[in-house]
Homo-oligomer: A and B are copies of this chain.
Amino acid sequence: MKKIGVAILGLGVVGGGTYEILCSHREFYRHTQNVDLEVVCVLEPDRKRTDALGVGAEKIAENIFEVVSNPDVNVVVECIGGVTQSRQYVLDALNAGKTVVTSNKELLCKYFHELEGVARRVNAGLYFEATCAGGVPVVRTLIDAVQSNVIPSFEGIVNGTTNYILTKMKEGLSFEEALSEAKTLGYAEADASADLDGLDAAYKLSILASLAFHTKVPFTKIYREGIRGIESEDIQEGCGLGYTLKLFAVGRQTEHGVDVRVHPAFVEKGHPLASVDGCLNAVCLNGDSVGEIVLTGKGAGALPTGSAVVSDILYAATHDGHRYSTFKNTATADKEVKFISDFESKYYLRLLVPASADATAVTALAKNNIAVRKLLRKTDGDQTSVILVTDTAHESAMKKALSRMRTSGIEVGAVIRILA
């Protein structure tokens, strides 16, 4: 039976979950995978964490050199987070010929190609299922299960924190109440900015789009809008129109270029991702042969994400001589790619219209060739508000129309895209 020694860097949520699974399932993997996975050492300066997991003192490494120079270590798991230390440690591990499994989406997204280049050069493995959508096996599916397909587009709900908040807002809570509840339940960190502003989702989108489109999709090319500006009122209005609001990561290959973006959007209630609520994550992949595939599961948490890490370790352990790589054909990887910023969408608008500017909103849209699908006028005392649903339009056209409205005294209460 093959013996694989594992080192874990960082025993936070994911590192801790990985440690627990490896310890509790060792016999199971011996039986079912014919592999003996042993945690040889951990690198974690916080004794509270090592004590809580019952890590023996003999397994606690002093520094990264001790880890990567240990001949019994075959796989190094990086769960530290951040990019400075983690990048150096991953490079050290790869350069020592160790297979690396990481759950660090920021690191992977920002240094994907540097790390992959090193892995390729030294013939070491680099695995990262846990970076995207927690326990949902979307990386493995893209690489090993729908690789026979051209993927013209995909969309995902890849951030559990914001999905939880939007679900609670649908149930009637305000943004602040929902955020506070998410913090209490441990679904949001004290500083939830990376989630709320769509950063976390954009890291994942960069990785997923690179895999799906076989091209480099730098984080900086992703249009990004978070959920801080969303009001419960619009979620309820949308509900009445048959829509559900979600924070989407969207990737599309268009004839004009690659379109990658993270923003809140309405989808019709029949959409495969409309009913993915709470902390769940889900990705809908559209393949040219297979059609639509939807993967749903827990997007975060110690054991679900740890499950993805350990599956990567087992994959590396049982795929002898297989060096995992994102770009099997390096020529393709260096192809110049065009990205589009002026993407198309349908829109939901909520406008506060003074009596004097009654027809202005529709005129402003018409002047920019944007057709109106639905119009709902609501009067509440002196205040007239108008809800508009438009046909597909370019962002640039919508911006011009909105600017025209504003100069005519219309207050734009909300602009929310509708995903077709």
Binding site for B on A (CB under 8 A): 17, 21, 25, 28-35, 129, 135-137, 140-141, 144-150, 214, 272, 275, 287, 289-298, 303-304, 306-308, 310-311, 313-315, 318-322, 328-329, 331-332
Q: Which residue of B lies closest to A134 (CB)?
A: B290
Q: Which residue of B lies closest to A297 (CB)?
A: B293
For the complex formed, measure the closest distance between the CB of A334 and the CB atoms of chain B, giving whole angstroms: 12
Name A31's contact: one of B214, B275, B287, B311 (CB within 8 Å): B214
Q: A141-B137, A290-B304, A329-B32 are in contact. Are A148 and B25 (CB under 8 A)?
A: yes
24 interchain pairs, CB-CB under 8 A: A17-B289, A25-B148, A25-B150, A25-B289, A32-B332, A34-B329, A135-B289, A135-B291, A137-B141, A140-B140, A141-B145, A145-B311, A147-B311, A149-B307, A289-B303, A291-B297, A291-B304, A292-B298, A293-B296, A294-B294, A294-B295, A295-B295, A318-B322, A321-B322
B319 and A319 form a contact (CB under 8 A): yes
For the complex formed, measure the closest distance between the CB of A29 and the CB atoms of chain B, giving whole angstroms: 8
Majority SS at the chain A contact face: mixed
State the 5 A-B residue pairs at the shortest beta-carbon distance, nearest first.
A137-B145, A321-B321, A148-B310, A289-B307, A290-B307
Q: Which residue of B lies closest to A293 (CB)?
A: B297
Q: A145-B141, A147-B33, A328-B318 are in contact. Are A294 and B296 (CB under 8 A)?
A: yes
For the complex formed, measure the closest distance between the CB of A271 and the CB atoms of chain B, giving whole angstroms: 11
A322 — which chain B residues lie within 8 A by C-beta? 318-322
A149 — which chain B residues lie within 8 A by C-beta? 307
A303 — which chain B residues lie within 8 A by C-beta? 289-291
A293 and B135 form a contact (CB under 8 A): yes
Please name 9 further chain A to chain B contacts, defined as beta carbons within 8 Å, in addition to the given A289-B310, A291-B304, sorted by A numbering: A17-B289, A34-B329, A35-B328, A129-B145, A136-B293, A146-B311, A290-B308, A294-B297, A296-B296
A319 — which chain B residues lie within 8 A by C-beta? 319, 322
Name A297's contact: one of B33, B129, B290 (CB within 8 Å): B290
How far apart sit A310 and B287, CA to CA, in the bound complex (Å)?
A: 13
A310 — which chain B residues lie within 8 A by C-beta? 148, 289
For the complex formed, measure the closest distance between the CB of A158 and the CB atoms of chain B, giving whole angstroms: 15
How far apart sit A292 and B295, CA to CA, in the bound complex (Å)?
A: 11
Q: Which residue of B lies closest to A30 (CB)?
A: B329
A308 — which chain B residues lie within 8 A by C-beta? 145, 148, 290
A146 — which chain B residues lie within 8 A by C-beta? 137, 307, 311
Q: Which residue of B lies closest to A329 (CB)?
A: B34
How far apart sit A75 and B144, CA to CA, in the bound complex (Å)?
A: 17
A304 and B329 form a contact (CB under 8 A): no
Name A293's contact: one of B148, B272, B295, B328 (CB within 8 Å): B295
Name A328's contact: one of B32, B144, B295, B306 (CB within 8 Å): B32
- Between A17, A290, A308, A321, the greatest number of chain B beta carbons within 10 A of the residue's beta carbon is seen for A290
A318 — which chain B residues lie within 8 A by C-beta? 322, 328
For the complex formed, measure the closest distance between the CB of A237 and the CB atoms of chain B, giving whole angstroms: 24
Name A147's contact: one of B32, B214, B331 (CB within 8 Å): B32
